[in-house]
């Protein structure tokens, strides 16, 4: 499985043609305590860069953009009852949605973990 990051602090884990999307450790640390998460509905088509989910914290509400284009196959239903999962494990159990990738070449424009760490270090 390969993980890629955007400059907006989303990540996508890719396994075959399935991508799992969430926000980075850095993003959740900037947001603070997460109080609400809205994930996209199954079957929704998203385009790279589109608003796909919403996350609200005690500090702010933020859109979560899809790092790749595809069709949503699952939203993380655990986040409705426990949005704090995003704080506890943003790059694991706190994932937002899964989708089938429609264009794997879009991954080429994303950062790997090393490049993302260097990007965040400059912020």
| Residue 41 belongs to a domain | yes
| Residue 38 belongs to a domain | yes
Q: How many domains does the chain have?
A: 1
| Residue 111 belongs to a domain | no
Q: In this structure, what CATH number is given to the domain that contains residue 11?
A: 2.40.50.100
Mean pLDDT of 82-98: 97
| Residue 76 belongs to a domain | yes
pTM to 2 decimals? 0.97
Q: CA 97, 48, 11, 120 torsion: positive or negative? A: negative
pLDDT, position 117: 98
Written as six digits, the tokens of 20 are: 């799992």
Q: Supply the mean pLDDT for the chain.
A: 97
| Residue 116 belongs to a domain | no
pLDDT, position 46: 98
| Residue 60 belongs to a domain | yes
User: What is the rounded distance in angstroms from the CA atom of residue 105 to the CA atom of residue 121?
Assistant: 27
Mean pLDDT of 105-113: 97
**Residue 1 in this model has a pLDDT that exceeds 90:** no
Mean pLDDT of 5-29: 97
Q: CA 101, 94, 11, 77 torsion: positive or negative? A: positive
Domain encompassing residue 32: 2-105
């Amino acid at each position: 499985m390969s993980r890629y990051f955007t400059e907006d602090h989303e990540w996508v884990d890719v396994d075959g043609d399935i991508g799992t999307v969430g926000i980075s450790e850095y993003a959740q640390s900037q947001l603070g305590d997460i109080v609400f998460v809205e994930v996209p509905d199954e079957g929704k088509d998203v385009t790279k860069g589109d608003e796909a989910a919403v996350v609200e914290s005690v500090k702010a509400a933020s859109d979560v953009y899809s790092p790749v284009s595809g069709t949503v196959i699952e939203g993380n239903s655990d986040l409705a009852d426990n949005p704090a999962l995003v704080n506890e494990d943003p790059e694991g159990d706190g994932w937002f949605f899964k989708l089938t990738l429609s264009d794997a070449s879009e991954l080429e424009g994303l950062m790997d973990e090393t490049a993302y760490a260097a990007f965040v270090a400059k912020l």
